[in-house]
Structure 1
């Protein structure tokens, strides 16, 4: 159910909101791990490498869509924090229109680009047929991914992180069953693995829509709400496009890494793919805290509570450091044993390569955790330039590692791309957040029309009266300097 994040101890509110996100990310990563295990053991190392070869390409386009829909939900969270239900509904309608348009573009255009893009990336010839099949099926089902991400984002925007978790768990469970049935049972190959994901996401979209219609009146769009204006579209695109481009910029870096791995051969591709599955599970845990901070900051910005924002971010940084230390210790101690489960007993070299990546990344998870918190806070406050610029920094670091270190040290050099990208982004994020934090009081209290008086929501949300909310703020400025 909807929940305001503008009252209560910040660290408790953020942690309670983050836990369902954390569990959901774990479940999502687990079903990707199941996909990799089934494909690797049933179809072999080449099939697993083929799926891995599509990862950066899928991330480039689908990651853009994910960032876009996350940005569309920020005005929703700010309006909810301000107690303006009409603005919440208009935001939902605007985001739905834009998400629908992007779904059409992806579904029509992306499958046509899959084959040529994979060859342009110098994918090993023996991997291209299966990689193309996996990418095409995934892109044809892009609309299911787009709308599930958007529905989950707007539910989180009103403080409900549990309901998306329920639907995600059901979707992931269905995906596990389907991938085993289609790949191991019916012999549908890598295309079956991609189809299993598309079907399971379509089911989750249907469940989310049904839930919103029946149980969440604040998100139930009325006829008049569909009359979106140019200013509505501009505001959502102003926040959504930079977040989408940020994901795409990072994805371009992974494309450069993928090209280098393709040149190093199938063993390197398989090792990196396997380690990335395990690493993704740990990264998802840290990312959950960043998403929670983003929603917390957005709602409290709408409610005019700079004090809570600052305290919540500081407490979240400490939580991210603790989480990074714990996750890093686990992967350093057990990385080899974990990745060994993906292969047969004769793939010791691939296992060793994958374990090395986990050890390097695990040692620097502290930096990644702080990065997620600070970037999430800036995005929740409506800043777009600095988070996008940090994506450019990550791109530069990853490409540099792939081109320079990869040429000099092979797989070992490529592995260092991610840690260097995290550290480079932090160099910019830390001072940027410090400046934004100092300006919060001015932005919140010195703007025309902003008062500290609470308002009552126009309609019921969950049967309770929401206080601690203020009149919606004007759009935040984008420059931090």
Structure 2
């Protein structure tokens, strides 16, 4: 399709967002490779269990990024720049409060959480170690989410790219040093992540503080603003909770299938996450463009951008699926997988590749509706698509790990149906600040 001015706007936001988003899963893959080479299959499984728990806790708070992007972009589009920055500052204070709460609540519960997922013995002990250490980075992780949302809402996706590459490069270097050089075991991988996340959060605090001072916005916490930010995030929290329930159920089922199945599933999940973040770059552009154009009252521009971004998502999904097929023979070797894990991973990569075009459309429309502030619909859609997934997962539990991944495909198709139907209507096209 020919490149238009709309495409250039999308690419201006999406390309740096792609770099920022893809940096995290790339370095998480590096973590898996380091742990796999240095510590073996049991540690990889433990990293998969603890990583799933930690990712669940952090991703439940993704509204700090998504909600902030939408509110800041809408206020900016309406010309209310000081109000846009006030929303961003409130989001960061909310992030710090939630992060502190996660440490207090989850640190003593870490053994019970790991046991709930199904890990036992040495694997469970290593998972608890990784989870408890990583919790100390939770406030930093959430500040990164909120700070990223502020800058995306201001149509700046370059600064998040620089911060992401720097912090996750630091993460990879520290993990290699701590795990392979100093012999700290799985605790070394966790400490590397904590240090890198805190460093990234510090950069965001400086950037947002400078912007607020320039606009005359107070840096002091506003209880009304923090309360409003939290209330606005409830629907996105429900949506995200539904997503995490799906992924947690899949992890629990994979854990009960066996150690090799869990390790293969964890590796396939990291590959899928890398692809998801790549596709989500267009969704990030969708959040920013949709919020700004609706804030300015321009419905035709919103429709045009949505149509073009959906096309980009579809064809990007096709391309990524083909890349997975091409890279499939070499991927098990990157993780030093043992023969059984490698065999299962090779089988799993087929459905991973097959569903990429569906993922491309789903992620884009999800971002568009988030940017529009259509969180209530997204919450209800999350409930219905989770209900569609659970019977498929139950059936897959007795058929093997490949069937389990196909159940995730059922979930993605259900999301595609709910999102395309909503985007075709007009209820989400609400204009103004």
TM range, smaller chain: over 0.9
Cα distance change, pair 219–263 in 1 and its aligned pair in 2 (3 A):
farther
CA contact (8 A) 2:289 2:302 kept: yes
- Is the 1:122–1:262 Cα contact (8 Å) retained in structure 2? yes
Deviation at 1:168, TM superposition (A): 1.0
The offset of 1:214, in angstroms, is 4.1
2:416 corresponds in structure 1 to 426
2:133 matched to 1:137? yes
Alpha-carbon distance in 1 for matches of 2:213, 2:309: 31
1:359 matched to 2:355: no
Q: Which one of 289, 296, 301 corresponds to residue 289 of structure 2?
A: 296
Find the aligned partners of 2:187 and 2:357 in 1 and give their Cα distance.
37
In the other structure, the counterpart of 1:322 is 315
Decide which of 70, 82, 91 is 2:78's aligned counterpart: 82
2:184 to 168, 185, 188: 188
Secondary structure in structure 2 of the residue aligned to 1:123: coil
Superposed, 1:381-460 pairs within 5 Å as: 381-407=372-398, 409-436=399-426, 440=429, 443-444=430-431
What is the CA deviation profile of residues 206-232 of structure 1, one whole-angstrom value per residue up to 9, with x for unaligned ones? 222223344675676326x74453xx4
**C-alpha separation between the residues in 1 aligned to 2:136 and 2:339?**
36
Q: How does 1:244-323 map to 2 (within 5 A)?
A: 244-323=237-316
Shift of 1:430: 1.1
Deviations 1:249-278 (A, max 9, x none): 211122211111111111011101111112
Is contact 1:254–1:398 with CA below 8 Å preserved after alignment? no
Aligned to 2:163: 167
State the alpha-carbon separation in 2 of the partners of residues 259 and 227 from structure 1: 40
Higher helix share: 2
- Higher radius of gyration, 1 or 2: 1
Give the equivalent residue in structure 1 for 2:22.
Answer: 26
> Contact 2:64–2:149 (CA<8 Å) still a contact in 1?
no
Q: Which residue of 1 aligns with 2:122?
A: 126
Gaps of 5+ in 2: none
3-state secondary structure, aligned to 1:65: coil
Match of 2:368 among 362, 377, 381: 377
Q: How many residues end up aligned between the 2 structures?
A: 430
C-alpha distance after superposition, 1:394-439 (max 9, x if no partner): 43344333321222x12122111221111011111111111137x7
* Equivalent position of 2:340 in the other structure: 349
Match of 2:49 in 1: 53
Q: TM-score, normalising length from structure 1?
A: 0.85
Which whole-Å CA distance do the structure 1 matches of 2:215 and 2:128 have between them?
Answer: 38
Calculate the aligned-residue CA RMSD, in Å: 2.0
Alignment of 1:85-164 (within 5 A): 85-164=81-160
Q: Distance in 2 between matches of 1:419 and 1:218?
A: 47
Contact 1:88–1:218 under 8 Å retained in 2: no
Quickly say closer, same or farther: Cα 1:32–1:219, change in 2 above 3 A: farther
Q: Gaps (5+ residues) in structure 1?
A: 1-7, 445-471, 474-481
The CA deviation at 1:43 is 0.3
1:19 and 1:218 mapped to 2: Cα distance?
A: 28
Instruction: Tell me, yes or no, if the aligned pair for 1:278 and 1:339 is still in contact at 8 Å.
Output: no
1:38-67 CA distances to partner (integer Å, 9 max, x unpaired)? 000100011001101123322321111223
State how far apart, in whole Å, the 2-side matches of 1:328 and 1:92 are. Answer: 36
Supply the distance in 1 between the matched residues of 2:75 and 2:216 (Cα, whole angstroms). Answer: 15
Once residues 408 and 173 of structure 2 are traced to their aligned partners in structure 1, the CA distance between those partners, rounded to angstroms, is 33
